Structure 1
Amino acid sequence: MGHGWEGAVLKLLRGKDFTFTVTGAEQVTEDYRRLHFTDGGLLGAAGVHPTMWVRMWFENAGKPHQRAYTLVDPDVAAGTFSLEFALHDGCASDWARKAQPGDTIEATLQGTGFDAPEPRPSRLLVIGDPASLPAINSLLAAMPEVPATIWFETSHASDADLPIRVDPVRHELRRVPRRDAGGHLVEEVKAALPSLVSAAEDAEDAAGVYVWIACDTATTRTLTSYVRKEVGLPKGRVHGLGYWRAA
């Protein structure tokens, strides 16, 4: 399958193409599926960094369709990783539901750069949902010594069983049911975030907070603007990336 005009643009941006092979599958919940892959040389060529993602190519009514997914537990020596799919209607979820060992899929590596903040922050403030869960887990693993507060938006009862890798000693997990197209999450974050920022900023020898936001595009945009303009955090201490678009 060709990659169309999007693939041509990624080539111009020096995107690198790989072919992954499915080696196994786990149905984590009825709404969440994990697939295991061999990497087709990806990890040896590119290495690994926190929240690393790739663009996967799916067929949608005979046309190429790309979606980004975060690598889970990448093993450079073994050349393996997993991907996790929050299942809904769509060609990517349809493919993930049916994928079996031996199936292959094409992917492009481009645009995935992320550097963990230095110096390490006094506290992480993380806002996400099942679509960004692999990236949340990767971020927490990259800075295990840093306390974190995580607002995690949920849409299904089964989301209570998702593999959120929190340390009960260092991490505070706040589950927020999705309401009002993300508006409820925005209200919850705005009610609590300023005081957490102030506490971290005022602590002795504080390095300040780092805010990481990855929800639906509209919610991410709203919260990123709020943290930058109203809370007043500088650009280098805020990361916002919309992971999906609400229908």
Structure 2
Amino acid sequence: MAQGRGWEGAVLRMMRAKDFTLTVTGTQDVTDRYRRLHLSDGGLLAATGVHPTMWVRLWFDNAGRPHQRAYTLVGPDPAAGSFSLEFALHDGAASDWARAAKPGDTIDATVQGTGFETPSPAPSHVLVIGDPASLPAVNSLLGDGGNALGPAPATVWFESGADDAEGLPFLTDPDRHEIRLVPRRDGGAALVERVKAELPGLLRATPDPYVWIACDTGTTRTLAAYVRKELGVPKDRLHALGYWRAG
């Protein structure tokens, strides 16, 4: 299964990554730009277990070349051997595959590198910066039947296009989680400006904060450096991972 995946596949084999074949069992168009696929897991959950924000690498064909992207599991059910994946649709091999996927289709998946560490002490306020690509992970972190970070309130800066947030499947708790919608402008500059204006005050009022950043790679790097270097948030109270690259 891992043959023909170029240097990425070779590195993952050296790191003893686990390979599985997933089968599409159903599809759902959540919005015209956001699609959910239901899949049988090919034994994945039984072999690996489940943790919050768990993700897998999917392998796509991109004009004859291997192309891999990571996706967070949605509603994993080890007993049933199933989960869903959600795709924020745009141009590219992954979105093209998701648009065309139908029951019975299969795709190869690799599990390597995923993990989750619960911060200690538990957060008194969770500060999340995300977008449609990281929404499944946001839901896994704050909702999705689990609440990985306990009962703390959360503030979520959510970047999206003008209409992209409407109809998205937020699983957050409106009594504890505040969603602050931020329009995507200037390659993420509007999100950076908004966070820099609002985050410092929340941090000053929070004895044990936890900051979680997952948006496009450039914006994630900018905000992570700001949070660490200018706001002084310790490394163990910050998680930052770029979820996609702006074209």
- The answer to whether TM tops 0.5 is yes
Match of 1:223 in 2: 223
Aligned counterpart, 2:160: 154
Secondary structure of the structure 1 residue equivalent to 2:51: coil
Q: Which residue of 2 aligns with 1:181?
A: 187
How far residue 143 of structure 1 moved from its aligned partner, in angstroms, is 2.7
Instruction: Provide the residue aligned with 2:130 in structure 1.
Output: 128
- Over residues 110-141 of structure 1, what are the superposed CA-to-partner deviations in whole Å (9 max), with x where a residue is unaligned? 11112121221001000000000000000003
- For 2:198, which of 192, 196, 200 is the aligned residue? 192
Q: Show CA shifts across 1:134-188 (max 9, x none).
A: 0000000323511000000012414221011121110111000001110000010
The alignment's TM-score, normalised by the length of structure 1, stands at 0.95
In structure 1, distance between residues paired with 2:221 and 2:164: 27
The alignment-based identity, stated in percent, is 69
Please say if residues 50 and 116 of structure 1, whose CA atoms lie closer than 8 Å, have aligned partners that are also in contact. no
Q: Which residue of 2 aligns with 1:238?
A: 238
Partner-residue secondary structure (3-state), 2:206: helix
Q: Please state whether the residue corresponding to 1:193 is helix, strand or coil.
A: helix
Take 1:144 and 1:162, find their aligned partners in 2: how far apart are those partners?
23
Q: Secondary structure at the match of 2:165?
A: helix
Contact 1:53 1:70 in 2 (8 A): yes
Match of 1:204 in 2: none
Q: Which amino acid aligns with 2:245?
A: R
Alignment root-mean-square deviation, CA: 1.0
Native 8 Å contact 1:49 1:115 kept in 2: no
Give 3-state SS (helix, strand or coil) of 1:102's partner. Answer: coil
Distance 1:182 1:82 in 2: 28
The number of residue pairs the alignment matches comes to 241
Instruction: Show structure 1 runs of 5+ residues with no match.
Output: 202-207
- The letter for the 2-side match of 1:58 is F
**Counterparts of 1:30 and 1:213, CA distance in 2:** 26
Tell me the distance in 1 between the aligned counterparts of 2:202 and 2:76: 32
| Whole-angstrom CA distance in 2 between matches of 1:176 and 1:54 | 28
Superposition pairs of residues 79-98 of structure 1, within 5 angstroms: 79-98=81-100
Aligned mates of 2:133, 2:174 — CA distance in 1: 22
Q: Distance in 1 between the 2:231 and 2:139 partners?
A: 26
Amino acid at match of 1:97: R
Q: Gaps spanning 5+ residues in structure 2: where?
A: none
**Partner residue, 2:46:** 44
Contact 1:50 1:115 in 2 (8 A): no
Query: Secondary structure, in 3 states, of the residue corresponding to 1:160?
Result: coil
TM-score by length of 2: 0.95
Letter of the structure 1 residue corresponding to residue 6 of structure 2: G
The structure where helix makes up a greater share of residues is 1
Partners of 1:37 and 1:144 in 2: CA distance: 29
Aligned counterparts of 1:84 and 1:144: Cα–Cα separation in 2: 24
Counterpart of 1:160 in structure 2: which amino acid?
Answer: E
